[in-house]
Structure 1
Amino acid sequence: MNDEGDFSEHVPDDLKCDACKLLAKKLTEKFDYIHKRRPSVRRLKESDILTVTEAVCNGPFDDYGVKEVNKVMRLSGPGLETNGLPGVTQSGGKWPHRLLKMCNGYLGELDEIEIYEKYKKYGTLETYMCYGSGVRGECSRTKNFTKGRHEL
C-alpha cells in the first residue's frame, strides 16, 4: 500500500471497483433475503427500502481488507472473488470505516428508490452501481477491472 491506502479515510481509487462490487452484492443479497422472507410482497414500501439500504450501509464490514493478488492489491472478504485466493488479508483498521463511508456516500448520490427499482428490473445491482459514468463508474475507471459492462 501507499500513503493513500494506509492513512486515508477513503477507499483508494484502485480498490473502489472491488468495494463497489461488494456494496452492490450486499444490497442485492439483502433485497433477495427480504423478498424470500415475504414472498407475497411484490414491491417493498419506501420505508422498507430505506431500512434495507441503511442496514447494509451500517455494516458490519469487519471481515474485509486488502491482499495482494497477482501483484495487485485487491479488496478481499466474504462474497468477493478474491476471498478464496491465496494470500494474507490485512483486515480491520480503517477498512470497516472506509466501506461504511463509501456505502453511505452512494446513498447520498444515488436514490435508494432508484437502487431498488434497478434491483427489481435486473435482479442485481453490480452493473448499475459499478459501471458506466459518474458515481456509478468505479469499475469503468479502474485499470484493474476484468469484465467490461454496459451502462444501464
Structure 2
Amino acid sequence: MRLPLPLLLLFGCRAILGSFGDRVSLSATAPTLDDEEKYASHMPTHLRCDACRAVAYQMGQHLAKAEAKSHTPDSSGSQELSESTYTDVLDRTCSQNWQSLSMTCFHYLGEFGEDQIYEAYRQGHETLEALLCGGTHGSCSQEIPAQREEL
C-alpha cells in the first residue's frame, strides 16, 4: 500500500540516524481503524493531534517555498509575502487531495484566518504548531477519551 507524504507524516515516520554514511531507516504504519472510523467523514479523536501537526507542517512547507520564490524582502532582509500571496498559498495548501485532512486544514483557516496563521509561521514552526494545535481547546491538548466497550 502506497501512502502520500502527508499521511506518512500523519502516521509518524521515524528515522534512526547513525553516523555519517549510514543508511537512514524509515518505517510507517497506518493506524488501525474500526469500521465506524474508516467510513466517517470526520477525523477520529485519537488522530486529531497528528493531523493538526501534519497540516501545520504542510502549511509551513508551502509558505517557505513561496517565500523562497518571492523577490520582495522586508526590513530585516527576509522574504515576506503579500497578503494576497500567502492567502492563495494557504488556500492551495488546503485544496490538495488529502482525504480528510483537507477538511481539517480548512477548519484552521476558518478558525484563525490566513493573517494570524502567516504571522505565526513568520515567528517559527513551533509558534505555528502551537497556534493550530495547542491552547486549552487545541487538538494536542485534549486527552483522548477511553475506548468504550461494545455491548
Q: Please classify the TM superposition score into its range, dividing by the shorter chain length.
A: 0.5 to 0.7
Instruction: Give how far 1:45 is off.
Output: 1.5
User: TM-score under structure 1 normalisation?
Assistant: 0.64
- Does structure 1 retain, via aligned residues, the 8 Å contact 2:70–2:81? no
Find 2:110's aligned residue among 105, 108, 111: 108
Larger Rg: 2
The runs of 5 or more residues in structure 1 that have no matched partner are 62-95, 144-152
1:42-121 paired onto structure 2 within 5 Å? 42=74, 43-61=80-98, 96=99, 98-121=100-123
State the match for 1:85 in structure 2.
Answer: none
| Contact in 2 for aligned 1:31/1:52 (Cα 8 Å) | yes
User: What runs of 5+ residues in structure 2 fail to find an aligned partner?
Assistant: 1-32, 75-79, 145-151
Instruction: Verify the 8 A CA contact 1:35 1:41 in the aligned structure 2.
Output: no
Identity %: 31
CA distance, structure 1, for counterparts of residue 88 and residue 143 of structure 2: 31
Q: Answer 1 or 2: higher relative contact order, Cα 8 Å, separation at least 6.
A: 1
Root-mean-square deviation (CA, aligned residues, Å) is 1.9
**Deviations along 1:64-114, whole A, 9 cap, x unmatched?**
xxxxxxxxxxxxxxxxxxxxxxxxxxxxxxxx1x11111111111111100
Which residue pairs with 1:139 in the alignment?
Answer: 140
Q: Which runs of 4+ in 1 moved over 6 A?
A: none
Number of corresponding residues: 107
Residues 10-49 of structure 1: CA deviation (Å, up to 9, x unaligned): 1111001111001000000111111112253332221112
Contact (CA 8 Å) 1:4, 1:12: kept in 2 or not? no
1:31 to 60, 63, 69: 63
Residue 118 of structure 1 aligns with an amino acid whose one-letter code is A
Structure 1: how far apart are the matches of 2:35 and 2:111?
27
Determine the C-alpha separation between the residues in 1 that align with 2:134 and 2:59: 16
Q: CA deviation at 1:122?
A: 2.3
- 2:72, 2:81 within 8 Å by CA — same for their partners in 1? no
Shift of 1:60: 2.6
| Structure 2 counterpart of 1:21, from 35, 53, 56 | 53
C-alpha change, 1:122 and 1:22, in structure 2 (3 Å) is same
Q: Specify whether residues 41 and 60 from structure 1 end up closer, same or farther in structure 2 by C-alpha distance, changes over 3 A only.
A: farther
Q: Is 2:90–2:114's contact at 8 Å kept on the other side of the alignment?
A: yes
Check whether the contact 1:57–1:100 (CA below 8 A) recurs between aligned residues: yes
